[in-house]
Amino acid sequence: MKMSIATTPFGRRPMTLGHLATQLAASEIDEEARASKWQVFRDIREAKEALGATDRALAILNALLSFHRAEELTAEASLIVFPSNEQLSRRANGMPQSTLRRHLANLVTTGLVIRRDSPNGKRFARKGQGGAIDQAYGFDLSPILARAEEFKALAAAVQEERKALRLAKERLTICRRDVVKMIEAGINEGVPGNWQGFLGRYEAIVARLPRTAARPTIEAICNELEDLWIDVHQTLESFINSQNPNANESHSERHKHNSNPNVSSTDESEHGLEEIDEASGVGAKTDNVRALPSRDLPLGMVVDACPELLTLARDGQIRTWRDFVAAAEQARPFMGISPSAWQEAVEVMGPEKAAVTVAAILQRSDRIASRGGYLRNLTERARDEKFSVWPMIMALLREKLDAQAKAVGSNRKAGADPAEGDRGSTVEISAALRKNMKKKGWER
């Protein structure tokens, strides 16, 4: 069977050396070559950017391949398809013919198909004896078969590049997260170091990162961030190694929690008022915490004693201990309590008692200079079984009862109805608890 050997396009379309090179490559197909047309199409689609093919051009190529009846492309069979523009438009989901012609030119330019134009530019085929095609004019799919291995290699390279880009982005994300959080830990924990300098370096590095970056750019940024990571990590590691694990409590508090150089541990102790010691249960009268009630505090009593926490609760309500703990976690950063201080309190006391302690500190925050240092102090006392949350809550309730009693007394002197003075009270305690508070000296 003798096929058409037309090499130049019809009409005003110019002939280029690229077109001729594509035809020469297609003419050198091995006689035994064969390839699945849809597998080659998937490879072409994967490597479309490297080939310079457009999305719509691939939609047209998909339609052209559908006009080739066999599943495989072989050198023995005719690889010229000759659909009209109207037929192509229908199989390309109704693409306008002006758009169709433009993207057909893209397929020819990228060397994916070859034009085999008839003398008048029409696409058709002549059949010989027996119905076999003797001569055809249209689009030659030979380049797809001739370059099947090239497309496969290109698709594999594109997949590797995509994987490398994804890994580089993951590496960048981890580097940025580690550096930022280690700098925050150093600042929050009061570790000596040039943290502003580290933060400036980080911002300068990240500022050079474009919105859409190529893999080499991302890897260069990652290398600089990893150098910064090493410097920050070494600063934290050196501080940890320099700490004496046998140091006394005041030494540990001075290094870990006093991030403000203008406030000494002596200043903090001077701000520790008598009421605070009484509320924390560390005074002489409540030194034996084993004599305190062993049962858990009722949630309602704790909320009545610490109403300030309600301002940070979701919807302004606390219905369960889970809500209470969540509200305490919300209050922690506003109080200047570091994550490590909170975590240590949770590990030693449990989440509920740690939350009660934070709520009580929040309630008396105006009388506590360093809330984070005070929480750590109470945590250490709880570790030694010298601290209980009961005295804190009882002292806060006593203060509230005293304030209400004074308000009622003032109303009586002013001639107000005593019932009106008690109507706003939210603290309800049993007679047995009131008797116990009097016995312990918690209620006057």
Contact, 92 vs 63, CB < 8 A?
A: yes
Please name the amino acid found at residue 61.
L
**Tens of pLDDT along 28-80?**
677 778 889 999 999 999 999 888 888 999 999 999 999 888 888 887 777 88
Count, in order, helices (H) and strands (E) of the chain. 21, 6
Contact, 113 vs 141, CB < 8 A?
A: yes
Task: Please give the distance of CA 13 from its chain centroid, rounded to a whole number.
Answer: 53
Any idea what DSSP says for residue 257? T
Would you say residue 364 has pLDDT above 90?
A: no
| Cα-Cα-Cα-Cα dihedral sign, residues 345, 346, 350, 353 | positive
Task: Please give the distance of CA 31 from its chain centroid, rounded to a whole number.
Answer: 55
Q: Is the pTM of this model over 0.75?
A: no
The pLDDT value given to residue 174: 93
* Residue found by looking up tokens 């809500």 in the block: 323
Domain assignments of the chain as residue spans, ordered by start: 17-146, 162-242, 265-396
Residue 168, token pair as written in the block: 């580089």
Which of 160-169, 207-216, 420-429 has the lowest average pLDDT?
420-429
Would you say residue 149 has pLDDT above 60?
A: yes
Reduced to 3 states (helix: H, G, I; strand: E, B; else coil), residue 190 is coil
Contact, 144 vs 24, CB < 8 A?
A: no
* Most confident segment among 61-75, 168-182, 260-274: 168-182
Any idea what DSSP says for residue 74? E
- In whole angstroms, give the CA distance from residue 174 to residue 166: 12
CATH for 17-146 is 1.10.10
Cα–Cα nearest to 51, from 93, 18, 10: 18
For residue 138, what is the enclosing H or E element? strand 133-140
Long-range contacts of 15-19 (CB under 8 A, 24+ apart): 18/109, 18/111, 19/108, 19/114, 19/115
Residue 390, token pair as written in the block: 């009961």
